[in-house]
Structure 1
Amino acid sequence: MAKATKKQALGRGLSALLKDPENDIKSASDKNADKVVGNIVELEIEAIEVNPFQPRSNFNDQALRELATSIKELGVIQPITVRKLGFDSYQLVSGERRFRASKLVGLETIPAYIRIANDQESLEMALVENIQRQDLDPIEIALSYQRLIDEIQLTQERLSDRVGKKRSTIANYLRLLKLDPIIQTGMRDGFVSMGHGRALVNIDKKEEQLALYEKIVGQNLSVRDTERAVKEYQGKATGATKSTSKPPAVPSFAKEDIQKLTDYLSAKVDIKSSEKGKGKVTIPFNSQEEFLRIKKLIVGE
């Protein structure tokens, strides 16, 4: 109990330091910065603004109320993280659920770690923190990955290192963004799972995706049922364009590797071979940017 009291007193002391205009800390090299940055400080909630880079857009009201009840009983166990904007002004980097729940129960202050970062660093911290710690839905995770790639200019390899996920896992999430927006919304709302989405993304035509999506929801199809339905659709699509000659088949030695190549390149890979063993690998692309991305993965340029 004595340790907890000492820690809280330290937080209040640092809060007083931050309230002193003569000790306004703007960078890590400023006087007393080492006493504040990285330490837990009790900040007034009204001095904190929400992060515009927050990747989470949906907050479950029931879960938020449950967290608020826990905070009312036990306090905020895990501090939030903020970055300093100006004198006695801060912006949330991570911990928005704790921040919102604390406001719900009427707390005036909240324990926080203070960081000094520019907007890009703040975005990266917010995205990586949320991917690792929050229960985001698959589309929110995919959008967070895409933002890290686009706005922080991370390659999938560097992103894999940064978030501690396999590159194939990241590729599987990013492929979900090729689904029709209606299906993406259905996934966010819990009507279908990521497994359903991974199966549906193998259908190129959006109208066919939607038709099968409606069937999944209407008939409560499992992921396995959906995968079978996608294979049936692909078989019919192939049959409609089949010529009188026997079409090239996927060679047995490559069957297990098609999905690996698809995941690695984030593009649908097709492998065909004749009876004599000659064949070809087809990798479609939809834009110059996608072509350059695939090229970089294959040749490293």
Structure 2
Amino acid sequence: MIGQLYGVNGKKFQRQYKNHLSGFKTWGQKPHAEDWLVFPENISEELSLDEVALSDGELYTVLTSKKAKGRKGSIVAVVKGTRSEDVVAHFRKIPQKLRKQVKEITLDMSGSMKLIARTCFYNAAQTVDRFHVQKLALEALQEIRIKHRWKAIDKENEIIAEAKKKGEKPEFEVFENGDSLKQLLARGRYLLYKSRENWTQSQKERAKILFGKYPDLQKAYQLTDELRKIYNQKIIKSVALLKLAHWFKDVEEFGNKAFSTVVRTITTHYNDILNYFTNRSTNASAESFNAKIKNFRIQLRGVKDRSFFLYRLTTLFA
């Protein structure tokens, strides 16, 4: 773009910017940038801990400050990999006095993330992100839909094979909204992610047919929606615990293996999950920051020089 406007060779300008104009060559953290970056001055009382893939699926552990709200000063630390021993070693480069000031850290249910938080920020309450919990229930719901869809595909293949034998045109069941059974289950994916209040008219019609055909899918959707509503209510931890106990009972009566696994997972992490109802803190800031990283990567058409990418990233957000 600059080359077209000013008659400058694009690649040459890019090289000049990187080597002379950007300040990358004199960056103090350049020697270890690909392995770790730490910015103790950005630490705050509320932090988010998450992982992100920079390039070629290479994971980095990212610690961000909620106080900065995704702007400059957001990045507290970036460490290559997710191994707790490596991450802890680099997070400990942040002075202990500052780490002791952290009051809350939001994260997912990963054992390594929880160990990192417990080891480095021992005074902080750990809060499991609500969206990770809800995602488990949504995945259990979608698993039921997918099983039904595979059966519908098998049934359709059988109808086609039988019609070929007879030399006839295959006939499929078509519902009043124009969907075949296979299409109904494929297109039903989107409405299952949404609450009823946000369904479009066509989604309402599709849901009526889908749930009429598959009552177990309707029950699974109701359970997922009930869990969402527990999180949406402004209630204290003790009330949330009671409501979750009722939800566990409903899941037990449903008898689905995937939903039973969700219950066991919540039970395993229930203290940290219930911490959400104290300050209603989520990991949304970390997820939003991860989206910015991915966006930045797309704009640059990938990451060729990881150190330079991290330099530009931290210049903007650290």
Asked whether the two chains share a fold, i.e. TM above 0.5, the reply is no
TM-score, normalised via structure 1 length: 0.22
Q: Greater relative contact order (Cα 8 A, min sep 6): structure 1 or 2?
A: 2
TM-score, normalised via structure 2 length: 0.21
